[in-house]
Amino acid sequence: MKKSLVAVGVIVALGAAWTGASWYTGKQIEQRIGQSVSHATAELEKAYPETGLVLQSKDFHRGIFSSDVRLVLTVKDGVKNAEIKPGEEISIKSVIDHGPFPLAQVKKLTLIPSMASVHSELENNKALKPLFEVTKGKSLFAADSRVSYSGSVISDVDIIPVDFEQNGTKFNFSGAKLTSDLSRDLKEVLLAIKSDQLTINKNNENFVVKGIDLNLSNKKGKFDIYIGDQNINIQEISLKGIGNEDIVLSGVKINSNIGEDETNLKGKVTYSLDSLKLKNTDFGSGKFAITADRLDGESVRKFTQAYNDATAKSLASGDLSSDATNAAIIDAVFSNFPILLKNNPQFGIEPLTWKNTKGESSINYKVSLKNLPKDKSNLSSMKTEDAIRTLIQDMSLNVTLPKPMMTEFATQARMMNGMDKAKAEDDAAKQIEQFEQFGQLFKITTVDKDAISIKFNYADGNVEMNGKKMPLHQFMSEYNLADPSDDEATPEQIMPESDTHNSKKVQIEGTVKPAQ
């Protein structure tokens, strides 16, 4: 009997402790929601100042074991042409199970102590009525989140499949899965999204996207700018039935990285494609990478803040679309642009490539800019050569175009348009030969190992063009790039001399002899 009483006493004590802990946790949640919402609104203003979006919490009702709250997205008063109309709101209703062992987590046998477990769905209201008609009365998404005592939030979001037709257009979406892990102060963000397929069909014209996969891992760096990686992979994008020119892009990838050191930011965005098919003809694969380096971190932060401040000021005027507002934002951008040149930033295309069965072409370009002089009054009136010396520290361009690869590409293009293979190959070969002759005539290109190439380097007022070194002034004169007043030479003197290489392909008169 005593043992039974002891057992009952322990159960009652544990129940009382859980009740007390849940009640206390509920009070903590109520306090933290306001802080979190304010912080989220501040981040929205930083990232998308032009939208005027404001996040609020409303109708918080606290119980012992659970609470209810509405998170409401609205637009600031006076903002016109916004996606959300004045007076409208997008509302997310949430049920919060209090910790330390939220009932929703216990039901899933997840016994990790947590501050709360939150289930959220869109609320059907006037603003979202059209959306709920499309989803047949269901919330577009359902989110289940676990809030730790440190304030971080881990969420699993299910976006439901959608299938509807409107104005002759059929829309089919397979749904998506989203997972996220956000730190309390939003300084660290992990996000992953996966979806199988999106299809849009109208008048037998089909647009299909398959296998969407997005991953993001970012954190706030020392300059208050998010750094990290973002990767988007799409299995296939197809466009069929439009003008009998079917297009299929396979293996579409977009990868970006932003990093930092003690003083600078750097970044790289790479676009790549595994296959491009036009009318079932495989034209090959390609890659395009844009790079930026030596961007002074503090200057980027100030530049971003200036843009956000100008946008916020425009929001206060009540019309973000007015010409005066746009002019104010543009003025803020250009007036603060010079600070970005502080550490001689470098930009590049490294590389731009295209590959088919006959070879791979590549273009690599890089330019380093100089910090602007203190006296900027003469910049707009500078001659071209002076501007280059003042603004550019160094620049390089390397181009390699294999002739077999170019010929194959040109042949495929002709065959796709109905030309027979023999004639397409002959016409393509003539076109590439004429291109080669033209480039050599004007000393723009050379031929090396059956590839048309360009090798250009500039630094400190000197140029090296395809192996020939010369001062910048001479280069601009020879290539007819100088301002008219810079050189008294006649047009005949300015014309580049005939290249001694492959001179049999170039006529003395300076015209390109058509390929026979």
Residue 50 makes CB contacts below 8 A (sequence gap 6+) with 311, 314, 315, 320
- Read off the tokens for 176: 């998506």
What pTM did the predictor assign? 0.81
CA distances from residue 424 to 298, 403, 410, 434 in whole angstroms, order as listed: 56, 15, 8, 15
Which has more pLDDT, 130 or 377? 130
- State the pLDDT at residue 461: 94
- Residue 107, pLDDT score: 67
**Is 1 or 438 the better-scoring residue by pLDDT?**
438
For the stretch 457-485, pLDDT in tens is 999 999 999 999 999 999 999 998 887 76
In this prediction, residues 355-380 reach a mean pLDDT of: 89
Q: Taking a C-beta distance cutoff of 8 angstroms, is the pair 105, 114 a contact? A: yes
Taking 90 as the threshold, does the pLDDT of residue 446 lie above it? Answer: yes
Please tell me the predicted confidence (pLDDT) of residue 511.
Answer: 40
Interior CA angle at 118 toward 114 and 124, to 5°? Answer: 175
- 371 vs 245, which has greater pLDDT? 371
pLDDT attached to residue 50: 67
What would the mean pLDDT of 207-217 be, rounded to a whole number? 96
Question: Is the four-CA dihedral 128, 133, 134, 140 of positive or negative sign?
Answer: positive
CB-based contact 232:216 (threshold 8 Å) = no
- As a whole number, mean pLDDT of residues 430-454 equals 93
- Using the predicted structure, report yes or no on whether residue 79 has a pLDDT greater than 50: yes
Between 102 and 93, residue with greater pLDDT: 93
Inform me whether the pLDDT recorded for 191 exceeds 90.
yes
Q: Is the pLDDT higher at 155 or at 85?
A: 155
Tell me the per-residue pLDDT of 351-360, one tens digit each, with 9 for 90 and over: 999 999 999 9
What is the rounded average pLDDT of the residues 363-369?
96
- What are the boundaries of each domain within the chain? 17-150, 161-307, 344-483
Closest of 332, 356, 187, 348 to residue 267, by C-alpha: 348
Q: What is the mean pLDDT of the chain?
A: 82
**pLDDT at position 429 over 90:** yes
* pLDDT digit string, tens, across residues 395-405: 999 999 999 99
Structure tokens at 309: 């401040």
Residue found by looking up tokens 């600031």 in the block:
76
**Residues 16-35 pLDDT 10s:** 333 344 434 555 666 677 77
What's the CA angle centered on 228, arms 226 and 234, to 5 degrees? 115
- The CA distance from 43 to 499, in Å, is 60
Q: Report the distance separating Cα 356 and Cα 264, nearest Å.
A: 38
Contacts of residue 106, Cβ cutoff 8 Å, sequence gap at least 6: none
Is the pLDDT score of 501 beyond 60? no
